[in-house]
Amino acid sequence: MKFGVLGPVYIADVAGRSCAPHAFKLRVLLATLLIRYDRVVSTEYLMGELWADKQPKTARTAMQVYVSSLRKLFQEASLSQDVVSIVTRPPGYMLEVDKREFDLPRFEEGMKAARQAEDQGELEAAAYFISDALALWRGPALYGICDAAGLQTAARRLNELRMVAFERRILIDLKRGRGNELIGELYALTDEYPLSERLWEYLILALHNQGRPGDALRAYDMIRLQIRDELGLEPGASLRQLQQVVLSRGAVTVTQDGPFGYAASGT
């Protein structure tokens, strides 16, 4: 059995067939319980997610019906109780799920393992763990269903964690001297996240350290124009400093120092 929130909400049965519910409120209920797996979610909170401030008089009864429908869906998909179950526990319900079959805890565990490996100086292992964790993503978190306030907040948090994971893995690879291999990926990522100054910094840094100052300066001009056009601002101090280093042909060492993990080491 597989469960996913790192992309569209996803459930697959024992045969690998998708069996996520089609009804919108059922999908909201499922997503809300999945995001808060192994924690009790109050009935009041769940009703707020499903109906906001327009709760019908029958909301509590309808909630019980929705929970029963999810339990039936799990049963029909041959989900055994040791894989997933919705437990009634005051003041609401709790979803108990096998974390090995759920993308969110697997992502969290992968990032934890990466931090531990990096702390021990095992950069290759750290990059592997992060790459493995990122491979679990199928698109923006909770895609197509994050209308409820709680799910919107959860989606923003998870998508930010994904961005942090990308940035961390790239920084680790830069420290490993793999800048040349990262340039194509960084161009793609800056196209996907055009206002991420950190990704642009890493692209400029990779180009500069590969002896391509012209391309590095063109990349700086691109992000500068985008920030000015979209936000009416100038690039941050770190980006401007990196531009000056490129102009002066100075060296840049990738370290743990500085806000973004690198430091200019002179001309």
96 lies in the same domain as 181: no
Residue 181 in any domain: the answer is yes
Find how far residue 230's CA is from the centre of its chain: 24
Residue 243 belongs to domain with CATH number: 1.25.40.10
The CATH number given to whatever domain includes residue 77 is 1.10.10.10
In three-state secondary structure terms, 232 is: coil
Highest averaged pLDDT of the listed ranges 52-56, 76-80, 133-137, 208-212: 133-137
Q: What is the pLDDT of residues 1-29, one digit of tens each?
A: 789 999 999 998 878 888 989 899 999 99
Alpha carbon distance 105, 133 (integer Å): 10
End-of-domain residue from the set 77, 101, 125:
101
* Neighbour-count burial of 163, counting CB atoms closer than 10 A to its CB (0-12 exposed, 13-18 middle, 19+ buried): middle
- Tell whether 93 and 9 lie within a shared domain: yes
Tell me the C-alpha distance between 37 and 34, whole Å. 5
Rg (CA), the chain: 23
Classify residue 39: in a domain, yes or no.
yes
Which of 101, 123, 154 is the last residue in one of the domains? 101
Q: Is the pTM of this model over 0.85?
A: yes
Please confirm whether the linkage preceding 91 is cis (ω < 30° from 0).
yes
How many other CB atoms sit within 10 Å of the CB of residue 61? 10
The three-state secondary structure class of 45 is: helix
**Bridge partners of residue 252, in order along the sequence:** 264
Looking at the structure of the chain, the number of domains it has is 2
Q: What's the one-letter identity of residue 95?
A: L
Same domain for 11 and 97, yes or no, is yes
Examine the pLDDT at 126 and tell me if it is beyond 90.
Answer: yes
Q: Is the pLDDT of residue 211 over 60?
A: yes
Domain boundary residue, one of 101, 119, 143: 101
Q: Which comes out higher in pLDDT, residue 132 or 264?
A: 132
CA 1, distance to chain mean position in Å, is: 22
Per the structure, the complete domain to which residue 217 belongs is given by 177-267
**Euclidean distance between CA atoms 14 and 109, whole angstroms:** 24
Q: Encoding tokens for residue 67?
A: 């929970």
- Which whole number is the average pLDDT over 200-221? 95
- Does 235 reside within a domain? yes
- Residues 97 and 6 occupy one common structural domain: yes
